[in-house]
Structure 1
Amino acid sequence: MTDQLNAIVNARLQGQNGLYTLKINNGRFSGISAQQESTIATEDELDAGGNLVTPAFVEPHIHLDAAMTAGQPRWNKSGTLFEGIDCWAERKTTLSPDDVIGRATQTLKLFAAHGIQYVRTHVDVTDPHLTALQAMLTVREQTSGFVDLQIVAFPQEGIWSFKNGRELMEEAIRLGAGVVGGIPHFEHTRDYGAESIRWLMELAHKHDLLVDVHCDEIDDPESRFLEILAAEALKLDYGSRVSASHTCAMGSYNDAYCSRLFRLLKKSGLRFLSMPTESLHLQGRFDSYPKRRGITRVPELLDAGLKVAFGQDSIRDPWYPMGNGNMLRTLDVGLHACHMLGMSWIEHSLELITENGAAALDLGEYGIGEGLPARCLVQQGQTPYEVLLGQRPVLASVRDGRVLVRRNASHPETGLML
């Protein structure tokens, strides 16, 4: 089989019965047609073998600048978000361009092996030298052949609470960060947090950029920066371009408050990003028993018609010592933690790591359809249920009609072509 494809045959598509042929021309899907029976693939065709073909995975929230630094310079013994920030502050002083480029590229290749082709990374810009940011701009260019990389200017230690925080954010945008970040619950005061949201929203609106805010990543039910973010997004008519990441405090809000909050959220149209593995690890640390799960109200948000996507957040860093790049693992944990193992949820669960993540990244061309870029995965399983049960590596990852990864179902060694 050639690396550049003219078609994928014997494919199953979500929500459809039978087998399909996906025609490819000049790196785009040029036609989708039902097959009457299984067919033998030619030299320039990929045989999906009756497995489910899905859009490429989307990783909507990761910290590549910190990836692969767990235990450096010390381990996070308390397992809290706040000690993780302290550990990272120490490690950050030793960053070099080669260090960041090497670890980030290694992580992106791990992601590619698991079928991830779209990534949004937060990069700490509370560094007077912006070392990590400038290194990540290089990574974005060097890895463009196998991943689309969005870079968030992320003020890990605050915008108002860090010296020259606003100036560093503006410089990060000038250098090429395409998404404006924030962390209002970590600012020194509630007023600082509210002001940081208003400021970053104006910055994004001024430069026509996306927004992704670490919002209420804490179990405190009085942490309510989400309502400020939603109100600002609504005021600017910007909601579909704004992602609220984590929103862990929502899991501790009372239902009376949530009934009012959800009215605003639906009006604003915010996107929501939840990182279940990391939130289960970091949150609930100040509880005795019962311990809170620390995850936002995922099923309720989905029932309200809002877009929610799952992300990994960390790969072996001061906040989370685990992670292997497999989005199906993240999905499985999230469905368990959110009580979403009913079949009606499972049948649509892959949307949490595909279409909904694409919506958060504001991807203009995404999915399986005529005229769209031929970026897709051959899963191991005929249905979302089978795919989730196995959580096995993808059999193939196709990008613009070119095979990036190919595996034999019986021999799952990687066939990366990077």
Structure 2
Amino acid sequence: MPSANGISRPDFRRADGRPVRALRNAGTTDGRTVDVHLRDDLVHAVVPADGAPAGELDLDLTGYLLLAAPADPHIHLDKALSFDEIRPPLGDLGAAIAAWEDYGPRLTVDNIADRARRAALRALSYGTTALRSHVNLLPGPDPLRGVRALLRVRAELAAVMDIQLVALAPFTVPDEAIHEALDLGIDLLGGHPHHTPDPEGNLRKLLRIAADHGVGVDIHTDEQLDPGMLTLEQLAHAVRDRPASTPVTASHCVSLGMTRPDVQARVIAAVAAARIGVVTLPITNLYLQGRDHLAGKPRGLTAVRALLDAGVPLGAGADNVQDPFNPVGSGDALETAMLLVTAGHLTPQESYTAVTAGAREIMGLPPAGPRPGARADLLAIRASSLREAIASAPPDRYVVCRGRLVAAGRSERSAVTALAD
């Protein structure tokens, strides 16, 4: 759709899942203007733009930057968008857990599925074509309400995005419920051993159940500031000899960022040797951690720079989106990348890699992006550079998943803003 200045705009009518043959006149992060030709769900060729008019199955991306589409390796769709419904008190992690557990009896399959669907589609509209969601096994007589809700949403959205599910098992939930969740088709097993009376024992139980079902694990690990809580190191030693085909992810790892340099180096070496992927979750950890530090507040992030320097796969996710654990957040991966620049001191490229290639590696997904042979999961955004895209998060976007246009958005640039003299 051309605008008054002749520059193409996204057209909502075209975001109908149709296959895309070529992306024309797209900007790249290295300053080129290219045509990207797709074949089925892969990028077939990337060539200098030839000025040819866009055909019926082409997109004219004049004025847009073409990037790999984000993937979110850690979100809680079952909790998302529940803040106004629950109206929890603002507080630390303990207060958030209590608010969620108190509200648990009122959660229904339909209620959870509705919010999860809206949150997933919101993420898709921003450009995220793959996500991994944790889903709580709930207390009470029906602990699998959230599991059934997210299995429903995963099936409904399978044509437009990849969704992986992790059964988040509190230590109070019977083992039978964990086995049943995995039997229903949950992809991975998770938990939070550091919040149990016996962290090492709980960790080993989760690893044993996962091994029995032949699935990987994604563990909430050391989500606290105590430098002496290093379940991450126990996890690394416990899984070092596992089969290479079994993925292991450690999420949060907050206390790693609080340890002495020598301890940090020792733990990271064990993590690297065990081939564990680490997911950092800046918005929620910045919100929840350090509230009792009246001065010199810690940032509450894991040791992102040291992990990258050691070659550990690093991903970053939205975590909690407007729920008791975080009252704000949009679910936009560019928001996560921006926080890694400001709070984690990563470069814009490193930050965007954490929400794209790093996340996909941890999730076991094929590489994506505008290069030959890669999966055609692509985000086109109206920006001249990656730094500008992260800084401004422009709403003008096209989202392509597996070679099909699945979302488009635009802003009305003709709107007039009145400013006071």
TM-score, reference length from structure 1 = 0.89
The Cα shift of 1:64 comes to 0.9
Find the counterpart in structure 1 of residue 321 from structure 2: 315
What residue is the counterpart of 2:263 in the other structure?
Answer: 257
Match of 2:72 in 1: 59
Matched, 1:195 2:204: no
Per-residue CA shift, 1:138-197, capped at 9, x if unaligned? 111011122211110001xx33xx151x22211110111101101011102xxx211122
Matched, 1:290 2:296: yes
1:31, distance to aligned residue in structure 2 (A): 2.1
1:386 to 362, 385, 388: 388
Checking the alignment, whether the CA contact within 8 Å between 1:380 and 1:390 is kept in structure 2 is: no
What is the CA deviation profile of residues 266-311 of structure 1, one whole-angstrom value per residue up to 9, with x for unaligned ones?
2112111111111111000222211111110111111111121111
Q: Give the aligned partner of residue 76 of structure 1.
A: 89
* Structure 1: 4+ residue segments shifted above 4 A: 237-240, 408-413
Matched-pair contact (CA < 8 Å) for 2:28–2:65: yes
The SS at the match of 2:82 is: coil
Confirm or deny: 8 A CA contact 1:237 1:268 kept in the other structure: no
CA distance in 1, matches of 2:135, 2:173: 17
Tell me which residue corresponds to 1:121: 133
Q: Partner residue of 2:188?
A: 179
Q: Per-residue CA shift, 1:308-347, capped at 9, x if unaligned?
A: 111111111111111112211121112111123xxxx223
AA partner of residue 20 (structure 2): L
**TM-score of the aligned structures, taking structure 2 as reference length:** 0.89
Q: Matched residue of 2:129: which SS? A: strand
Q: What residue number does 1:98 align with? A: 110
CA 1:261–1:95 in 2, change beyond 3 Å: closer, same or farther? same
Gap regions ≥5 residues in structure 2: 2-13, 416-421
With CA pairs under 8 Å and 6+ residues apart, which has the higher RCO, 1 or 2?
Answer: 2
Residues 1:396 and 2:409 are matched in the alignment? no
Question: Which one is further off, 305-314 or 198-207?
Answer: 198-207
- Conserved in 2, the CA contact under 8 Å of 1:126 and 1:168? no
Q: Report deviation, 1:39.
A: 4.2
Whole-Å separation in 2 of the counterparts to 1:404 and 1:10: 20
Distance 2:310 2:246 in 1: 15
Which residue of the partner structure matches residue 151 of structure 2? 137
> Structure 2: how far apart are the matches of 1:382 and 1:231?
45
Whether the 8 Å contact between 2:36 and 2:46 is mirrored in structure 1 is: yes
Bigger mean CA deviation after superposition, 385-394 or 248-257: 385-394
1:85 CA displacement: 0.7
Shift in CA distance, 388/240, structure 1 to aligned 2, threshold 3 Å: farther
Letter in 2 for 1:350: Y
The aligned residue for residue 269 of structure 1 is 275
For residues 48-105 of structure 1, what are the alpha-carbon distances to aligned partners after superposition, in whole Å with 9 as ceiling and x for unaligned? 215321121111111111111115444223x111111111111111111110111111
* More divergent stretch after superposition (118-127 vs 64-73): 64-73
Name the CA distance, whole Å, in 1 between partners of 2:311 and 2:26. 30
Residue of 205, 210, 228 corresponding to 2:211: 205
- 1:238 positional shift: 4.6
Instruction: Note the C-alpha offset of 1:404.
Output: 1.7
Report the CA distance between 1:216 and its aligned residue. 0.2
Larger displacement relative to structure 2 (210-219 or 124-133):
124-133
Structure 2 counterpart SS, 1:60: strand
Structure 1 residue 412: Cα displacement: 10
* Change in CA separation of 1:257 and 1:371 when aligned onto 2, cut-off 3 Å: closer
2:12 corresponds to 1:10: no
Residues 364 and 400 from structure 1, CA distance in 2 versus in 1: closer, same or farther, beyond 3 angstroms? closer
Q: Is the 8 A contact 2:104 2:138 kept in 1?
A: no
Aligned match of 2:161: 147
Contact 1:348 1:384 survives alignment (8 Å): no
Q: Unaligned regions of 5+ residues in structure 1, if any? A: 414-418
Number of aligned positions between the proteins: 398
Aligned partner of 2:10 in structure 1 is none
Report the counterpart of residue 9 of structure 2 in structure 1: none
Percent identity, aligned pairs only, is: 28
Aligned partners of 2:361 and 2:367 also within 8 Å = no
- Identify the match of residue 370 of structure 1 among 362, 369, 372: 372
2:8 equivalent in structure 1: none
Letter in 2 for 1:325: G
Counterpart Cα distance in 2 of 1:239 and 1:346: 31
Deviation of 1:391 after TM superposition, in Å, equals 1.5
Q: Does structure 1 residue 350 correspond to structure 2 residue 352?
A: yes
Cα distance change of structure 1 residues 251 and 412 upon mapping to structure 2, 3 Å threshold: farther
Comparing 23-32 with 320-329, greater Cα deviation is found at: 23-32
Amino acid paired to 1:12: G
Would the alpha carbon gap of residues 322 and 378 (structure 1) be closer, same or farther in structure 2, given more than 3 Å must change?
Answer: same
Residue by residue, what CA displacement relative to the aligned partner does 1:112-142 show, whole Å, maximum 9, x if unpaired? 1101110111000143411111111111101
Distance across 2 between alignment mates of 1:241 and 1:411: 45
Letter in 2 for 1:199: K
Deviates more, 1:257-266 or 1:289-298: 257-266
C-alpha distance in structure 2 between counterparts of 1:303 and 1:117, whole Å = 28
CA offset at residue 22 of structure 1? 1.3
Residues 395, 410 of structure 2: 8 Å contact kept:
no
Query: What SS does structure 2 have at the residue aligned with 1:292?
Result: coil
**Structure 2 Cα separation of the partners of residues 41 and 8 of structure 1:** 8
Over 3 Å counting, the alpha-carbon distance change for 1:409 and 1:87 in structure 2 is closer
Q: 1:238 to 1:394 in 2, by over 3 A?
A: farther
Distance in 2 between the 1:93 and 1:125 partners?
12
Instruction: Assess, with a 3 A threshold, how the Cα gap between structure 1 residues 223 and 348 changes in structure 2: closer, same or farther.
Output: closer
